[in-house]
A and B are shown apart, each in its own frame.
Chain A
Amino acid sequence: MTDNFLEARSISKAYTGVQALDEVTLNIGRGAIHCLVGENGSGKSTLIKIIGGVVTPDGGEVIYNGTSYSHVRAIDAIREGVQIIYQDLSLFPNLSVAENISLNQMVEKQNKVMNWKEVRRIAADALSEIDEELDLNEVVENLSMAKKQVVAISRALTQNAQLIVMDEPTSALTREEVDHLFSVIHKLKEKGIATLFVSHKLNEVFEIAESVTVLRDGKKVGDYPASELDNDKLTYLMTGEKIEPEPYTYAPDTGTETPTLEARDLSREGEFKDISFKLYRGEILGITGLIGSGRTEVALSLFGLTNPDSGEILIEGSPVHVSTPRQATKYGISYLPEDRLTQGIFQHQSIGDNIVVTILRKFLDKFGLLQTSQKIASEKSWIERLSIKTPSRNAPASSLSGGNQQRVVIAKWLATQPKVFILDGPTIGIDVASKKTIHQTIRELAESGMAIIMISDEIDEVLKNCNRVLVMNKGQIAGEFETPSEVSEDEVFELVTKDTTNEVA
């Protein structure tokens, strides 16, 4: 008898010929904090679903608390204490905190009548177990993402959880909220509850994990104590190749050249103040800062989605008035939004249609009819240029992985041949290898003469990929770094969080 809560032994699973998991073994100790990492398609989700009894494996066995199952049903997994918190959290937005926490237990007990006192008691108990305080009557849709997570975790506790699986829990959280989540995970550990943490974000993995299991292409690469890994090593394990970006160094001739884009004293009430910078062709300008620091707000103004109260925008030396995205596009400014899934892509339309949607006008003949052959040619060339992995340009965008969707959106904006390309969080939520391709693409674009602004809250990302970095804090530019590759992450982090630590809830 080992001290493991869960042992998944040589689990295999194939979907229509594709081997999603191949003899994967995973052990999780009682109260352990275990990370599962791997690129998209490495089999992480399938493994989680098998542990939760949602998917039946083709081979292998799952042992909970020493009891072996060859065919786990979801209800068995729940009874054994496995709780999965999916990325969408599966909460009821229209119901109260109390009900969201307690309903599952009520349903499981097969109660017919609602005992509201009991509902509130269960919820209050669960919350106090992790020292959280929430208004039990508050409707869940009014809560922040972080608080919703607290509700989901509390709900898991009402089901006597022994292992809580969190699928990409940090993708929509701010830095402070992530810290808070980690403190909750540590409280769970104190109670002997194990956490299986699934994440793309390597820095978070190092922060929280005790041990790490790496998957690649459905096979287990290995189990490692977190202390033995570093960023490069883990990246290597995940991708099987070394990814070491050369720093991007480029120095525009500021003496003779006219900046492609210049902002002069841009201000917008409550968002940002006195923002001035110059951007030359060939540059990748990084902007980093916390959510609400003004980094995205400035971008929105440059793209005409909001209008600054005062200040000037100059394109190639001449002042322009940008008050709508249409005007911005006309001046050659393109913006790639942060939330690629909801803002940047038509999920149900084909990949090809998504790419050419911004330039459809170009394919009209003199009668105003669409010339399909040109359109198809353009679609194909972009798919090739950005190496979008798809069997067909006619497949719906929703069939693509996150990284490939991102590339479709990039292609869509590149098709307009912008002079200034603003990328807001271009690699949020995508895996290391896709990240690398996107960084490579951005670099090629800059080298071809485009002026690029890259907004990211990953300090490491802007330092390694930009030739110049602006740090924003509370709506103002708090610092500028001319040679980012020589700057330490801590130095930037200090500027990013200066005077804000007490304010951000």
Chain B
Amino acid sequence: MKDFLKGLFKHNETYLALIIIVFAGVLTLINPQFMSFRNIFSLLKNSSGTAILAVGFLLVILTGNIDVSFPAIAISAQYIATTTLIALDSNSLALAFAIAIGIGLLYGSINGFFVTKFKLPTLIVTLGTFNMFHGFLLEFVGTRSINIGQLPDAIKDFGDINLFTVAGSGSNPVGFSIFVGILIVVLLLTFFILRFTLLGRGIYAIGGDAEAARRAGFNVNRIQFFIYMYVGVLAGIMGMLHIALINYGNPNYIVDSELLRVIASVVLGGALITGGKGSLTGTMLGVLLIVTLEKNLVMIGLSSYWQEFFVGLIIVVGVTMTHVQAKLQSTQKVTIVRSH
């Protein structure tokens, strides 16, 4: 038991979970409604999209690379899929998802192509494709918003699907959204890939030492290509969840908010920006903390403008902390060597 606790406190995730518990405690003290099923389920539903993006971003970070184009992929997938449905006067959710995922695959493979073929720095490539994808969307697909009246019923209905309901405090039952179900499927699949496939171990190996991974026989290019495609698919799915959540589509949404939120979540979750280290659990806790913080700033008496400040602060402090931690560990090692 003691060893178990000791092991527990070695993990970044434990501290993150404690912070969330304390924060939730404070919020419950201020507003007892915070701990209600209604609020918790709604919080989970609202953060599913961000969480799915964060899973993709984690994979990229694990290899020591970066992809900043995913918000542009997500909004492109959403907007192109929905306008196509409207234009065809179709009410098929399956078609919408097929288009969104197709766009994700296409855009992901464009990223993958430039990254693997020309060995370009991934930040520059994806900064470029971010603008390409978004610019293409505005120029060739449209700039107008899609309001609730135009939105196909299938998409609106999709946003209201619950996997199960529990009795709420009032007379209305509280639903557990399908969004969270989709997130759970994504998490299970990704966990399986990372933990139990050679592809997943290859992702960690590349993050540890790309040259060593090559020498060990991993096909580094193929793995990188896979990751960018995977990020594309997840972004496509997120795009559809987003429009079904707010019942409103605007080609300038997602690109305006998700990039830093996702980066902050993953960094806060303990992923090393230089690659090789990071976990799904940490990432999910990171998302949870960021979203809770954003949604409740007003409740603790701060204006919502603080949100932007906090997200920025978290990125800087988070990166500094992991860096300092790594440095401390290496100095500790030196002292150990010396004292022997």
- CB pair B205–A92 under 8 Å, yes or no, is yes
- Does B318 make an interface contact (CB < 8 A)? no
User: B residues within 8 A CB of A144?
Assistant: 337
Stretch at the interface among B69-77, B207-215, B233-241, B246-254: B207-215
Partner of B218, one of A107, A142, A505: A107
Which A268-316 residues have a C-beta within 8 angstroms of B? Answer: 270-271, 291-292
Partner of A92, one of B196, B199, B204: B204
Q: Which residue of A lies closest to B209 (CB)?
A: A92
- CB pair A114–B216 under 8 Å, yes or no, is no
- Does B104 make an interface contact (CB < 8 A)? no
**Given A94-B208, A142-B333, does the pair A106, B339 have CB atoms closer than 8 Å?**
no
**Given A107-B198, A270-B339, does the pair A95, B215 have CB atoms closer than 8 Å?**
no
- CB pair A94–B198 under 8 Å, yes or no, is no
Count of interface residues, chain A, beta-carbon cutoff 8 Å: 27
**Given A114-B200, A503-B340, does the pair A94, B216 have CB atoms closer than 8 Å?**
no
- CB pair B337–A291 under 8 Å, yes or no, is yes
C-beta contact mask, B303-340 vs A, less than 8 Å → 1, else 0? 00000000000000000000000000000010001111
- Does B217 make an interface contact (CB < 8 A)? yes
- Does A104 make an interface contact (CB < 8 A)? yes
Q: Which residue of A lies closest to B211 (CB)?
A: A90
User: B residues within 8 A CB of A95?
Assistant: 201, 204-205, 208
C-beta contact mask, B187-208 vs A, less than 8 Å → 1, else 0? 0000000011111111011011
Q: Which residue of A lies closest to B334 (CB)?
A: A292
The CA of A94 and the CA of B200, in the complex, are separated in Å by 14
- Does A93 make an interface contact (CB < 8 A)? yes
- CB pair A103–B216 under 8 Å, yes or no, is yes
Which A174-223 residues have a C-beta within 8 angstroms of B? Answer: none
CB distance from A497 to the nearest CB of B (A): 14
CB distance from B330 to the nearest CB of A (A): 9
The CA of A505 and the CA of B337, in the complex, are separated in Å by 9
The CA of A18 and the CA of B242, in the complex, are separated in Å by 62
User: A residues within 8 A CB of B56?
Assistant: none
User: A residues within 8 A CB of B211?
Assistant: 90
Q: Which residue of B lies closest to A110 (CB)?
A: B198
The CA of A104 and the CA of B212, in the complex, are separated in Å by 10
Which A77-99 residues have a C-beta within 8 angstroms of B? Answer: 88, 90-95, 99
- CB pair A91–B212 under 8 Å, yes or no, is yes
- CB pair B198–A292 under 8 Å, yes or no, is no
Which A99-116 residues have a C-beta within 8 angstroms of B? Answer: 99, 103-104, 106-108, 111-114, 116
User: B residues within 8 A CB of A116?
Assistant: 196
**Given A95-B204, A108-B217, A114-B201, does the pair A505, B340 have CB atoms closer than 8 Å?**
yes
Tell me the dominant secondary structure on chain B's binding face.
helix
- CB pair B198–A504 under 8 Å, yes or no, is no
- CB pair A113–B209 under 8 Å, yes or no, is no
What's the interface size class on B, roughly?
Answer: 20 to 34
CB distance from A499 to the nearest CB of B (A): 14
- CB pair A90–B215 under 8 Å, yes or no, is yes
User: B residues within 8 A CB of A505?
Assistant: 340
- CB pair B198–A113 under 8 Å, yes or no, is yes
**Given A271-B338, A503-B340, A504-B340, does the pair A91, B209 have CB atoms closer than 8 Å?**
yes
User: A residues within 8 A CB of B205?
Assistant: 92, 95, 103
User: B residues within 8 A CB of A104?
Assistant: 216-217
- Does B282 make an interface contact (CB < 8 A)? no
- Does B276 make an interface contact (CB < 8 A)? yes
- CB pair A292–B340 under 8 Å, yes or no, is yes
- Does B156 make an interface contact (CB < 8 A)? no
The CA of A270 and the CA of B199, in the complex, are separated in Å by 47
CB distance from A272 to the nearest CB of B (A): 11
The CA of A113 and the CA of B200, in the complex, are separated in Å by 9
Partner of A112, one of B197, B277, B333: B197
**Given A94-B204, A107-B217, does the pair A112, B212 have CB atoms closer than 8 Å?**
no
Q: Which residue of B lies closest to A92 (CB)?
A: B208
The CA of A114 and the CA of B205, in the complex, are separated in Å by 14
- CB pair B340–A92 under 8 Å, yes or no, is no
Q: Which residue of B lies closest to A291 (CB)?
A: B337
- CB pair A113–B197 under 8 Å, yes or no, is yes
- CB pair B201–A103 under 8 Å, yes or no, is yes
The CA of A58 and the CA of B339, in the complex, are separated in Å by 52
- CB pair A114–B340 under 8 Å, yes or no, is no
User: A residues within 8 A CB of B195?
Assistant: 114
- CB pair A93–B197 under 8 Å, yes or no, is no
User: B residues within 8 A CB of A93?
Assistant: 208-209, 276
- CB pair A92–B277 under 8 Å, yes or no, is no
- CB pair B198–A106 under 8 Å, yes or no, is yes
- CB pair A94–B340 under 8 Å, yes or no, is no
User: B residues within 8 A CB of A271?
Assistant: 338
- CB pair B200–A90 under 8 Å, yes or no, is no
Q: Which residue of B lies closest to A119 (CB)?
A: B201
Q: Which residue of A lies closest to B272 (CB)?
A: A94
The CA of A95 and the CA of B215, in the complex, are separated in Å by 16
- CB pair B197–A92 under 8 Å, yes or no, is no
User: B residues within 8 A CB of A292?
Assistant: 337-340
C-beta contact mask, B270-295 vs A, less than 8 Å → 1, else 0? 00000011000000000000000000
The CA of A93 and the CA of B272, in the complex, are separated in Å by 13
The CA of A116 and the CA of B198, in the complex, are separated in Å by 11
Q: Which residue of A lies closest to B326 (CB)?
A: A141
The CA of A471 and the CA of B77, in the complex, are separated in Å by 71
Which A4-32 residues have a C-beta within 8 angstroms of B? Answer: none
User: B residues within 8 A CB of A94?
Assistant: 204, 207-208, 276-277
Given contacts A94-B204, A99-B201, A503-B340, 12 further A-B contacts (CB under 8 A): A92-B204, A92-B205, A92-B213, A93-B209, A94-B277, A95-B208, A106-B201, A107-B202, A114-B200, A116-B196, A142-B333, A504-B340
Please list 18 pairs of residues, one from A and one from B, whose beta carbons are closer than 8 Å in the complex, sorted by A's number: A88-B212, A90-B211, A90-B216, A93-B208, A93-B276, A94-B207, A94-B276, A99-B201, A103-B201, A103-B216, A106-B201, A107-B216, A107-B217, A108-B217, A111-B198, A271-B338, A504-B340, A505-B340
Closest 6 CB pairs of A and B: A92-B208, A94-B276, A90-B212, A107-B217, A94-B208, A104-B216
User: Could you list which residues of chain B lie within 8 angstroms of chain A, going by C-beta atoms?
Assistant: 195-202, 204-205, 207-209, 211-213, 215-218, 276-277, 333, 337-340
